[in-house]
C-alpha cells in the first residue's frame, strides 16, 4: 500500500532482505492483508542471489525496492532504508523482519500506542509453535548482557496481555518515530548484525524516548531463519563478538570488567557442550568471535570462517 492517507500517520515498513525466498511469500501475503491504510513497504536487498528480489517485486508491485551491490548486514541495510525514509518524510519507521507473518490489525495497534516520543513493540510468537513466545521484548540485564526473565519458547506469563512500558525490544518488529534517528543517529554498522538493536534502543531510551509493549499487536517469527538457525556457526560468531561489544559500549570499566569475568566463565560450559556434541564449527565460531572482539575486528568479518 502507498503512504497517501494524510489523516493517519505515515509508516514505512522497513525490511532488509537477504536470500529470503523460502519464506518471503508468506511474509508478503500477510502484509497484503494489513488493515492500516497509510503504509509503504521499503525493502533493502543485500545482494541476494536466490531470486528473492524479483519475487518481491512480482508479489508486491508497490514495493520500494533498493538493491545494494554487496551484503551490508542488517545494520548497513537498515541505514540505507532509514536514510530513504527520512528523505521521504515518513512519520514512523517500522523495523520488521521478513521471516515474520503479521496479523491483520497489528499495525493499527502499534500506531495507536505510539507518539513522537514513544516506540512500540508487539507480542511475538514463534512461528509454527502456537502460544509460545519469542524473546523480542522485555527487560534487559545490563550486568550480564541477557534478557531478564527470558521468554523464549515459553507460554505467556500472567499479566503479559496488559500494555506497559518495557526497557528493551529487538528490531524483529519495532515501530519508531523518525525523530529518534535525527536525535540519536542511525544503526552502528560495527555490529553488522545481532545486538545492534539493543544498542539502538539503549541510545534512544538514554535520549528520553519511551518504549512500550502493546500485546494486542501480534506477529509470528521464524527464529533466525535468515542466519541459518538459532545455533548456526554464523550466529554463534556474531552473537559472541557483539555481546562483548555491546557491553563494552554501554558499561563503565568496572561493570564491563565484572561482565567479562562472568562471560568468559560461562563460555567454558559452551565449550564443553560443543565438544560433547561434536559441534566443532560452532566451537570455532565462538572462539574466533571472542578473539575478534579483542582484536577490534568489527563490522563484516564473517568471511574469516566457513560458516555455511
Last residue of some domain: 224, 241, 267?
224
283 located within any domain:
yes
Same domain, 239 and 177: no
pLDDT in the model for residue 68: 96
Residue written as cell 538514554? 206
pLDDT in the model for residue 232: 86
101 located within any domain:
yes
**Virtual torsion, Cα 271, 248, 135, 68, nearest 10 deg:** -100
Name the average pLDDT for the chain. Answer: 93
Neighbouring C-beta atoms of residue 69, cutoff 10 Å: 7
Same domain, 199 and 273: no
Of the spans 215-229, 266-280, 292-306, which averages the highest pLDDT? Answer: 266-280
Cβ distance 113 to 169 under 8 Å? no
Instruction: Compute the average pLDDT of residues 221-227.
Output: 68
Same domain, 118 and 195: yes
Same domain, 251 and 102: no
The helix/strand/coil state of 156 is coil
Same domain, 215 and 239: no
pLDDT in the model for residue 305: 46
Same domain, 273 and 206: no
**pLDDT bracket for residue 230 (50, 70, 90):** low
113 located within any domain:
yes
pLDDT in the model for residue 149: 85
pLDDT in the model for residue 226: 55
6 located within any domain:
no
Evaluate if residue 6 carries a pLDDT over 90. Answer: no
Evaluate if residue 179 carries a pLDDT over 50. Answer: yes
Same domain, 60 and 82: yes
Last residue of some domain: 201, 224, 247?
224
> What's the domain count of the chain?
2
Structural domain including 205 reads 11-224
**pLDDT bracket for residue 2 (50, 70, 90):** very low
* Burial (CB count <10 Å: 0-12, 13-18, 19+), residue 6: exposed
**Which CATH number belongs to the domain containing residue 23 in this structure?**
3.90.550.60
3 located within any domain:
no
Same domain, 73 and 152: yes
Predicted confidence (pLDDT) per residue in 94-147, tens digit: 999 999 999 999 999 999 999 999 999 999 999 989 899 999 999 999 999 999
Q: How far is CA 106 from each of CA 30, 121, 123, 214, rounded to the nearest angstrom?
A: 11, 10, 9, 9
Same domain, 110 and 175: yes
Strand ranges, E, within the chain: 11-17, 39-46, 64-68, 92-96, 100-102, 118-126, 137-141, 146-148, 164-165, 168-169, 173-177, 210-221
Instruction: Compute the average pLDDT of residues 183-208.
Output: 97
Share of the chain above pLDDT 90, in %: 89
Same domain, 164 and 266: no
Share of the chain above pLDDT 70, in %: 94
126 located within any domain:
yes
Instruction: Compute the average pLDDT of residues 38-45.
Output: 98
Cβ distance 166 to 137 under 8 Å? yes
User: Would residue 223 be called left, alpha or beta, if left means φ above 0 and alpha means ψ between -120 and 50 degrees?
Assistant: beta
Same domain, 215 and 122: yes
pLDDT in the model for residue 223: 75
2 located within any domain:
no
Same domain, 63 and 201: yes
95 located within any domain:
yes
Last residue of some domain: 170, 194, 224?
224
Amino acid at each position: 500500500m502507498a503512504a497517501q492517507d494524510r489523516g493517519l500517520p505515515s509508516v514505512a515498513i522497513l525490511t532488509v532482505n537477504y536470500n529470503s525466498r523460502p519464506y518471503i511469500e508468506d511474509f508478503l501475503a500477510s502484509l497484503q492483508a494489513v488493515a492500516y491504510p497509510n503504509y509503504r513497504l521499503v525493502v533493502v536487498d543485500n545482494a541476494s542471489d536466490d531470486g528473492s528480489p524479483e519475487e518481491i517485486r512480482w508479489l508486491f508491485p508497490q514495493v520500494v525496492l533498493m538493491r545494494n551491490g554487496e551484503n551490508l548486514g542488517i545494520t548497513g541495510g537498515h541505514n540505507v532504508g532509514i536514510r530513504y525514509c527520512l528523505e521521504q518524510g515518513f512519520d514512523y519507521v517500522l523495523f520488521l523482519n521478513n521471516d515474520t507473518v503479521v496479523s491483520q490489525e497489528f499495525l493499527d495497534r502499534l500506531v495507536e500506542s505510539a507518539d513522537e516520543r514513544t516506540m512500540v513493540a508487539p507480542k511475538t510468537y514463534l512461528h509454527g509453535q502456537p502460544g509460545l513466545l519469542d524473546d523480542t521484548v522485555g527487560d534487559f540485564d545490563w550486568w550480564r548482557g541477557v534478557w531478564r526473565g527470558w521468554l523464549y519458547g515459553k507460554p505467556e506469563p500472567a499479566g503479559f496481555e496488559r500494555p506497559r512500558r518495557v526497557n528493551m525490544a529487538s528490531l524483529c518488529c519495532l515501530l519508531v518515530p523518525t525523530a529518534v534517528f535525527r536525535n540519536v543517529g542511525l544503526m552502528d554498522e560495527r555490529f553488522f548484525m545481532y545486538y545492534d538493536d539493543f544498542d539502538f534502543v539503549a541510545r534512544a531510551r538514554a535520549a528520553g524516548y519511551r518504549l512500550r509493549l502493546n500485546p494486542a499487536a501480534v506477529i509470528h517469527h521464524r527464529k533466525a531463519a535468515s542466519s541459518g538457525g538459532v545455533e548456526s556457526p554464523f550466529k554463534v560468531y556474531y552473537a559472541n563478538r557483539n555481546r562483548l561489544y555491546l557491553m563494552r559500549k554501554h558499561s563503565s570499566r568496572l561493570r564491563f570488567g565484572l561482565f567479562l569475568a562472568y562471560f568468559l566463565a560461562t563460555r567454558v560450559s559452551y565449550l564443553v557442550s560443543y565438544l560433547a556434541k561434536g559441534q566443532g564449527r560452532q566451537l570455532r565460531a565462538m572462539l574466533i568471535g571472542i578473539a575478534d572482539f579483542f582484536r577490534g575486528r568489527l563490522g563484516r568479518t564473517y568471511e574469516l570462517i566457513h560458516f555455511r
